[in-house]
Amino acid sequence: MSFLQLRGVEKIFGDHKVIKGVNLDIEKNEFIVFVGPSGCGKSTLLRMIAGLESIDGGSLHVDGRDITHLPSSQRELAMVFQSYALYPHMTVYDNMSFALKLAKVPADEIRRKVEDAADKLNLTPYLKRTPKELSGGQRQRVAIGRAIVRAPKIFLFDEPLSNLDAALRGQTRVEISKLHRALGVTTIYVTHDQVEAMTLADRVVVLRDGMVEQVGAPLELYDKPANQFVAQFIGMPSMNIVKAAQLSQFGALAGQAANRVPADGLIGVRPEGVRVLPVGSAGVPGKVELIEALGADTLIHVDVMGTPMISRQAERTHLHIGDPVSLEFDLNTLHGFDKAGRMVSLA
Amino acid sequence: MSFLQLRGVEKIFGDHKVIKGVNLDIEKNEFIVFVGPSGCGKSTLLRMIAGLESIDGGSLHVDGRDITHLPSSQRELAMVFQSYALYPHMTVYDNMSFALKLAKVPADEIRRKVEDAADKLNLTPYLKRTPKELSGGQRQRVAIGRAIVRAPKIFLFDEPLSNLDAALRGQTRVEISKLHRALGVTTIYVTHDQVEAMTLADRVVVLRDGMVEQVGAPLELYDKPANQFVAQFIGMPSMNIVKAAQLSQFGALAGQAANRVPADGLIGVRPEGVRVLPVGSAGVPGKVELIEALGADTLIHVDVMGTPMISRQAERTHLHIGDPVSLEFDLNTLHGFDKAGRMVSLA
Amino acid sequence: MSRFLPRALMAPSIVTLFLWMIVPLVMTLYFSVIHYNLMQPGETGFVGLENFHYFITDPDFWPSVMHTIQLLGSVIVITVVLGVGLALLVNEPFPGQGIVRVLLISPFFVMPTVNALLWKHMMMNPIYGVLAHVWQFFGLTPIDWMTDYPLLSVIVMLSWQWLPFACLIFITSLQSLDREQMDAAGMDGATRFDKFWYLVLPHMGRSIAVVVMIEMIFLLSVFAEIFTTTGGGPGNDSTNLAFLIFKQALMNFDVGVASAGALFAVILANIAAVFLIRMVGKNLD
Amino acid sequence: ATDLVIATVNNGHMITMQKLTKFFEAANPDVKVKWVTLEEGVLRQRVTTDIATKGGQFDVMTIGLYEAPIWSKKGWLAPINTDAAYDVDDLLPAIRSGLSQDGKLYAAPFYGESSMTMYRADLVKAAGLTMPANPTWTDMANIVAKIHDPAKGVYGLCLRGKPGWGDNMAFLTTMVNTYGGQWFDMAWKPQIDSKPWHDAISQYVDLMKKYGPPGASANSFNENLALFNEGKCGVWIDATIAASFVSDPKQSKVADKVAFTQAPTAVTPKGANWLWSWNLAVPASSKKPELAQKFITWATSKDYVNLVAKEEGWIAVPTGTRKSTYANADFQKVAKFAPEELKAINSANPTDSTLPKSPYVGVQFASIPEFQAIGIAVGQQMSAALSGKVTVDAALKTSQTAAEREMTKGGYYKK
Amino acid sequence: MLKKKPFPIVRTLSAWGVALLLFFPLFWLGITAFKTEAQAIAAQLFFTPTLASFVEVQERSNYLLFARNSLITSLGSTIIGLLIAIPAAYSMAFFPTKKTRDILMWMLSTKMMPAVGALVPVYVMAQTAGMLDSLPALVIVFTLSNLPIMVWMLYSAFKEVPKDILEAVRLDGATVWEEFRWVILPLTMGGIASTGLLCLVLSWNEAFWALNLTSANAGTLASLIASYSSPEGLFWAKLSAASLMAIAPIIVFGWFSQKQLVQGLTFGAVK
Ligand SMILES: Nc1ncnc2c1ncn2[C@@H]1O[C@H](COP(=O)(O)OP(=O)(O)OP(=O)(O)O)[C@@H](O)[C@H]1O
Ligand SMILES: Nc1ncnc2c1ncn2[C@@H]1O[C@H](COP(=O)(O)OP(=O)(O)OP(=O)(O)O)[C@@H](O)[C@H]1O
Ligand SMILES: [Mg+2]
Ligand SMILES: [Mg+2]
């Protein structure tokens, strides 16, 4: 039996259901990442697991024990709140040591743990400050620090790195990953950052509008999205989608997919599967709409007779907006969907 | 004369200087992005421009007028706060319409503008809610909405998209960009997201520890970083750095750089300039440390006799941790730095 | 915001209060060094510090200072401690919460005189009082409150009156406590007591400071309740400084000595205030 | 219409006067009478403050027998000019002399009182005793001991205990007087540590401790009246005015069981009954002296007594001021306490109320400005002694010191 | 908060218990007012109510005049007080200087002189100004003596407003008045209401000045009580009736404003 079991979990705010029957099994020591559009219910679900929101339907078991109605103080969790929820009148040190102090951990051990965490989070110079004297990112790090000094049964992280710069985010991500491996604590992690989701997760849970769309290993979701929503949600920029009805304009693409995808279905192709060639080359003709040079990559937005396509390439481009181009597609990584958005095998 | 001029601007909190003499000229209609490590002073600088923090040294001019000590209510700015700062007692609609109401904009125009903004930000269903009934991302969008309904002289955004999912972030980014083009309002934008910085900015300002490290167009920073800090800060994952002293181990790399970089200098090479080849190929030998499959890209961390190198490639890999590999470098995109980290031309 | 506006906004309060303070103060200073008995108003004359001498050497003086401090201390402690407790008790919803809150704050609306009469006659009277009946019901000899525990009786009355005030302020303050912080503390393993001690109490710091200061000011000058109930007795057992001054001014009509006493009270109040500011002051910003 | 502002005490007779003002207003249509009714202590504070600072808030003031001579001596009061109809000679002499200065009347007595003993005839009889016409304190001690029965809710003796010169000290001064004591000797030296004081106070404390009700040290007239009306007191010695209340069946459960006699005596009958009156006076600073005079003479006239009798009955007329009232047959019929009251009042002489000669005027007080402070301070000590907080000796000693202090401050003699 | 928590029975019972206990004296006062004098003293719980005491009180004194005076003076002083105190507290809370705390202390210290000590000076002042026994005099005195307390309470209420909300409103281009009207006022309604109520109650119940500065025209209900406090005999029922009439308006008002009073800041949008 799995460690954490959610069975038909529901949450109702006022008169709308925000979590609509979530079933989920999480194994001991697993690292689970929740992703989903803003407002889909990630925080709510996390807070329900934490016992901060009542569970209006269904049940929640940890280790076989029904904890649906257990108060959060008895659940042995550590959580990083999306809004931080720091104690405003305590210093950074006190914020981080609070839980340990309550647990009657010896003073020198507390000091060691807190200083250790502060060091990892680059917070050492700020230990004596109160939250209001910190920058946004520093506050967020205190929130993380407050959670990681503890050794709970379950770690809950709600967008913990959103306010950190790329370098620090990478560094902290590595620390969280290390911590997870070292302590082997079951961890649930909410993020909007695809890199975090892909690199940290054992399994990713894609939520949409209070329901689970797909659960799977990161690359599984990327390569075999269960439906159009997941396909478009995972991967940045989003997967290009072409209506089967318009496929006739897409040359080779049409040939590959035509017989498998229903006439009212869709074909998806990832931006890295789209190559922009000089005009006149064999391929589908289009016009450059926008060019975004990201440094390492370049995103080229091309309009193919009304259908927008994005190509991502590693090289810089000399094209300009309005230039006519030809598009070539990588036919091995196409995705097919039926009218309802469900995946259709193209193999 | 430029529109917004910062001259030796300083800020002191207690007994440490947080902003250490910033000089900056911003033209009318420019889109400026501030980037920098967490805690480097981005928010503080923004808040000084907004008049929310006193300016302890230097001066601030807008349109030739000294506004160093002008109260913020008279500066005609709109700002998205890092902490949102929504009015807790007002509905989303009221939050967004408040400034317009104060400006005595006719009621129907207010309605139109707010509904328009809400629509762009996917907030329409939430107009009647109060902030505490919203998810984190929804709150952030309200904060954005509150700013963009107005037509100020200057827009200030402090990490406005940090809590949005990738799709929504892309979409909102486009809206902000459109808005900027449509209104032509000078905009200052703080972000940790490299994609935002690269795609939105006319010029990027890299801050570090209260000082400006470099100002320039996005690709300029990427291609010609003024120093090691900027080089490593811009680009994700960070640029690989090799000490000149260790160059002997790096074969071709050594040959290219040896005569230009001082003996105590450094050589930098971007991850996309590092190619991982099967062991035995011509190249520098190393060992795989970690593999991160991000979907479209794969990051391979390789250890070259104690120096960590990251390679980024568009293809999936079959390598495993511990596998010995050979590395090859793109010699055209090397960066050289002297001992102090200043850029050295390799051309 | 220019520097002018904040000052302009404060000016009306400061100017009026200054006048309100300075004129009586100067007159009181003047009265305190002359002989001035309302029964013999013509016979004034400069007497130097004699009035102070008489006030301070009054055998009731030191006891009254002690009583003032006891009264102040007990009522403040009782109202703050119970006030915090009650505020916590009624803060979270339960059936009839609104009515309970209304009942709790009601005693505050009672006039001091009515309060005193109510307690003296209807509650604490050893023969007819409700408390006497309760005592008798349990087969006990009713307590003769005003005689045997005069100061305690006054403390009870004043606490009854000021508890709702403290309670009201604390309830308001509790409303602005951030729920997420409490949640966070819960997850940190904080018990109810921990939450109270480490979060709620610091959060209420400013309110407590305000309640303490305001009560101090009012309790320092309590005399109506004492006048109506115990008359400061038996002996001087319930005489406080304000009552002593009242006695000098309006029972002995000795304005000179009363003025000296009033000045002394100002000094004492300032000393108390400085102490309190030390204790609670940092909660103010 | 002209406003006439009258400050008065909230006693029953004054309330009646307030109600009957409409007759005065009817007779003087251009006058509107406004009442400020206050409790005794507060009234004294108000009028003293006002008259001393020349506030001029009141056109007519109700003042006591204590203030009248002090204020008139200072010229704060306007003399009362009386006509023949007013019949100044009808006023009881003891009271009149207390209110006059150099033959001129400075305040008109509205009602007067003395003190006497009220007791429960039924209980005394049940105990097989009789109350003498002029009881001594020894008699009294015997009687209260016998009728004291707290199990049945009856306490033998109710006396004033609440501190205050008009409260416990009014009674205690009469007791000291009859034990042969005085406040000051002819050199204005306080006599509180003398033997008569010691004897009187010891007796008082002893009796009250043994036979008094609980909480006695907070009781004054009102509290004792309530107790007596409830049937909880066997004997009560207090103001004669109480007589009409305790014999009023509407208020009193024991109206038919109460009897009256003179206040107890000990060494001397001198000063055993106090003398008090509430009087109406016009402050010298009044802006409407004629009108005020007019009202005062109306309210203290014989006609007014008759008016009250007509409107409220003879039982409600203000007593203690006029011989004619006591001579009235109708009055005698309803007021069975009247003879004792008149006797008590007549026996009181403010100018000669102590066995040794005294320099001050007043039976239960000394009419000097310093007396209030002294009376209050001593009253406090007495109530402390009564409650058992201090011994009688200690209380007297402290009192003596306080009185000496006050007199020194008042400049009566050098230390 | 878990919704399906067990019914908070212990809390409910204890809260009700304490509330009833604290309210009991008032309840007793209330019922005594409807008793006859004899019943009043006998401490009975069951009796046939009578309005006799109320009638008697109204007969003896013009209740409406006193009530009107109370209303005018307490409302007047509350309104004027708020008008003066709010700007001061606002300025001190939001534009603090090094002297702010000293000013606060000083304000409070103006209340440290016992009223009795200042009686003669104030009396003389009022008399010189020809304002004895006038409502304006009472309004002024009440306002001034409550002002420090009001500034203190308002200061503490304003201090609770999160700084960044203020910043947001300033950036939105609000004038000082708009900032106050639309953001600070709604956010601190609870504090302002408690302050107003406190001032109202203090003025309503103020007895010393109400008694000493008035005679026939400007007396308030608190001074009315003084004429019932110790008449000859303990007329408890009458006293209770007068007291009830004196405090009823303010209690009823307090009950109705209860909701506003306990309303604190509503947080949730501040990260
Ligand atoms: N009130 C304050 N008192 C003292 N130090 C402060 C205060 N506010 C900010 N600081 C410090 O000033 C520095 C700059 O803060 P700022 O908020 O500008 O950083 P930032 O660049 O916006 O960081 P982030 O990306 O984390 O939001 C930080 O080191 C912070 O700790
Ligand atoms: N107290 C509340 N009352 C009513 N609706 C609420 C409340 N709290 C949250 N919601 C709604 O529930 C939905 C889910 O909210 P939740 O905070 O779980 O979203 P989320 O997935 O965490 O979003 P984000 O990524 O923006 O943080 C949202 O649509 C939100 O508006
Ligand atoms: Mg969320
Ligand atoms: Mg910031």
Q: Model confidence over E164-191: pLDDT tens digits? A: 888 888 888 888 888 888 889 888 888 8
Verify whether ligand 2 is closer than 6 Å to residue B292 (CB atom). Answer: no
pLDDT at E4: 44
The topology under which CATH files domain E49-266 is MetI-like fold (1.10.3720)
* Structural tokens at position A266: 């869709």
Q: Average pLDDT, whole number, for chain B?
A: 89
End-to-end C-alpha distance for chain A, whole angstroms: 35
Residue D387: C-alpha distances to residues B296, C234, D222, E158, E267 (Å): 96, 7, 19, 51, 57
pLDDT score of B66 more than 50: yes
Query: What's the pLDDT tens digit per position in D56-106?
Result: 888 999 999 888 888 888 888 988 888 878 888 888 888 888 888 888 889
Chain A contacts of E1, Cβ < 8 Å?
A: 54
Chain C contacts of D10, Cβ < 8 Å?
A: none
SS3 at position D217: helix
When pLDDT is cut at 50, 70 and 90, the band that residue C1 belongs to is very low
Q: What is the ipTM of this complex?
A: 0.86
Q: What's the mean pLDDT in A280-297?
A: 86
Q: What is the dihedral of CA C168, C170, C176, C178, to 10 degrees?
A: -150
Within 8 A by CB and 6+ apart from D25, the residues are D31, D32, D33
Verify whether ligand 2 is closer than 6 Å to residue B124 (CB atom). Answer: no
Going by CATH, does the domain composed of C61-238 fall within 1.10.1200.10? no
Verify whether ligand 2 is closer than 6 Å to residue A18 (CB atom). Answer: yes
Query: What's the pLDDT tens digit per position in E69-102?
Result: 999 999 999 999 999 999 999 999 888 888 888 8
Interface touch C144/D381, C-beta < 8 Å: no
**What percent of chain C stands above pLDDT 90?**
11
Single-letter residue type at E267: F
Query: What's the pLDDT tens digit per position in C73-122?
Result: 999 999 999 999 999 988 888 888 888 888 888 888 888 888 888 888 88
Query: What's the pLDDT tens digit per position in C242-262?
Result: 888 888 887 778 888 888 888
- Best E161, E171, E177, E180 member to test B by mutation, with max B CBs in 10 Å, is E171
Q: Which ligand is nearest to the CA of A165?
A: 1
pLDDT score of B156 more than 90: yes
B124: CA distance to ligand 2 center in Å?
14
Q: What's the mean pLDDT in B69-90?
A: 88
When pLDDT is cut at 50, 70 and 90, the band that residue C224 belongs to is confident
Verify whether ligand 2 is closer than 6 Å to residue B136 (CB atom). Answer: yes
A141 — contact with chain B (CB < 8 Å)? yes
Interface touch E2/A69, C-beta < 8 Å: yes
Query: What's the pLDDT tens digit per position in E237-262?
Result: 888 888 888 888 888 887 777 777 76
Query: What's the pLDDT tens digit per position in A121-149?
Result: 999 999 999 998 999 999 999 999 999 99
> Ligand 1: residues whose CB is within 6 Å?
A 126, 133-138, 163; B 13-14, 18, 36, 38-44, 82
Residue D310: C-alpha distances to residues D318, D323, D335 (Å): 13, 19, 16
The DSSP annotation for chain C comes to: --SHHHHHHHHHHHHHHHHHHHHHHHHHHHHHTB--BTTBTT---B-TTHHHHHHHHSTTHHHHHHHHHHHHHHHHHHHHHHHHHHHHHHHS--TTHHHHHHHHHGGGGS-HHHHHHIIIIIIS-TTTSHHHHHHHHTT-PPP-HHHHSHHHHHHHHHHHHHHHHHHHHHHHHHHTS-HHHHHHHHHTT--HHHHIIIIIHHHHHHHHHHHHHHHHHHHHT--HHHHHHTTT-STTTT--HHHHHHIIIIIS-BHHHHHHHHHHHHHHHHHHHHHHHHHHGGG--
Within 8 A by CB and 6+ apart from B14, the residues are none
Residue E209's nearest CA partner among E262, E266, E133, E101 is: E133
Query: What's the pLDDT tens digit per position in B165-220?
Result: 888 888 899 889 988 988 889 999 999 988 899 999 999 999 999 999 999 999 99
Pick B50's closest partner by Cβ from E162, E171, E187: E171
**What percent of chain A stands above pLDDT 90?**
48
Query: For a pocket test of ligand 1, which of A129, A134, A165 has the largest count of ligand atoms closer than 8 A to its C-beta?
Result: A134
B226 neighbors B213 (Cβ within 8 angstroms)? yes
E204 — contact with chain C (CB < 8 Å)? yes
Verify whether ligand 2 is closer than 6 Å to residue A309 (CB atom). Answer: no
- Tell me the nearest-neighbour CA distance from E99 into chain C, angstroms: 12
pLDDT score of D190 more than 50: yes
B187: CA distance to ligand 1 center in Å?
21
- Tell me the nearest-neighbour CA distance from E26 into chain D, angstroms: 22
pLDDT at A254: 65
E94: CA distance to ligand 4 center in Å?
23
Residue nearest to atom 28 of ligand 1 (CA): B39
Query: What's the pLDDT tens digit per position in A150-164?
Result: 888 899 999 999 889
SS3 at position A173: helix
A1: CA distance to ligand 3 center in Å?
29
Interface touch B72/E270, C-beta < 8 Å: no
Query: For a pocket test of ligand 1, which of B9, B20, B38, B42 has the largest count of ligand atoms closer than 8 A to its C-beta?
Result: B42
Q: Give the HSE-up count for residue D224: Cα atoms under 13 Å, Cβ half-sphere.
A: 30
pLDDT score of C14 more than 70: yes
Residue E141's nearest CA partner among E246, E67, E212 is: E212
pLDDT score of A247 more than 80: no
Peptide bond into C234 cis (omega under 30): yes
When pLDDT is cut at 50, 70 and 90, the band that residue E234 belongs to is low
Residue nearest to atom 8 of ligand 2 (CA): B133
pLDDT at C285: 64
pLDDT at E1: 36
When pLDDT is cut at 50, 70 and 90, the band that residue A302 belongs to is very high
pLDDT at A26: 94
Q: Which chains touch D (3 or more CB pairs under 8 A)?
A: C, E
pLDDT score of E267 more than 50: no
What domains appear along chain A, each with residue ranges and CATH number? 4-228 (3.40.50.300), 237-344 (2.40.50.140)
What is the chain A residue with the closest CA to C195? A102
Q: What's the mean pLDDT in C198-214?
A: 87
Interface touch C168/E96, C-beta < 8 Å: no
C200 — contact with chain E (CB < 8 Å)? no
Q: Average pLDDT, whole number, for chain A?
A: 89
Single-letter residue type at C186: G
Q: What's the mean pLDDT in D304-315?
A: 88
Query: Does A have 3 or more CB contacts under 8 Å with D?
Result: no
Residue B180's nearest CA partner among B47, B24, B33 is: B33
Q: How far is the C-alpha of A57 from the C-alpha of D399, rounded, in Å?
A: 80
When pLDDT is cut at 50, 70 and 90, the band that residue E233 belongs to is low
Q: How far is the C-alpha of C166 from the C-alpha of C210, rounded, in Å?
A: 9
Q: Average pLDDT, whole number, for chain D?
A: 88
Residue ranges covered by each domain of chain C:
61-238
Chain E contacts of B83, Cβ < 8 Å?
A: 164, 270-271
When pLDDT is cut at 50, 70 and 90, the band that residue E2 belongs to is very low
Pick D11's closest partner by Cβ from E41, E119, E231: E231
pLDDT score of A111 more than 90: yes
C55 — contact with chain E (CB < 8 Å)? no
Q: How many residues does chain E have?
A: 271
* Residues of C contacting chain A (CB within 8 angstroms): 178, 180-181, 183-191, 194, 198-199, 202-203, 205
Single-letter residue type at A87: Y
Query: What's the pLDDT tens digit per position in B251-282?
Result: 766 666 666 778 788 888 899 889 898 887 77
Query: What's the pLDDT tens digit per position in A169-189?
Result: 888 998 899 889 888 899 999
Q: Which chains touch E (3 or more CB pairs under 8 A)?
A: A, B, C, D
Closest atom of ligand 1 relative to the B34 alpha carbon? 21
Verify whether ligand 2 is closer than 6 Å to residue B128 (CB atom). Answer: no
Query: Does D have 3 or more CB contacts under 8 Å with B?
Result: no
A166: CA distance to ligand 2 center in Å?
27
Q: Which ligand is nearest to the CA of B92?
A: 2
* Structural tokens at position B116: 């328009």
Chain E contacts of D241, Cβ < 8 Å?
A: 232
pLDDT at C145: 85
pLDDT at E7: 61
Chain C contacts of D74, Cβ < 8 Å?
A: 40, 42
Peptide bond into E231 cis (omega under 30): no
- Tell me the nearest-neighbour CA distance from E1 into chain B, angstroms: 15
Chain E contacts of B146, Cβ < 8 Å?
A: 168, 172
What is the chain C residue with the closest CA to D230? C128
Chain B contacts of E179, Cβ < 8 Å?
A: 73
When pLDDT is cut at 50, 70 and 90, the band that residue C43 belongs to is low
A204: CA distance to ligand 2 center in Å?
20
pLDDT score of E61 more than 80: no
Q: How far is the C-alpha of A140 from the C-alpha of A147, rounded, in Å?
A: 11
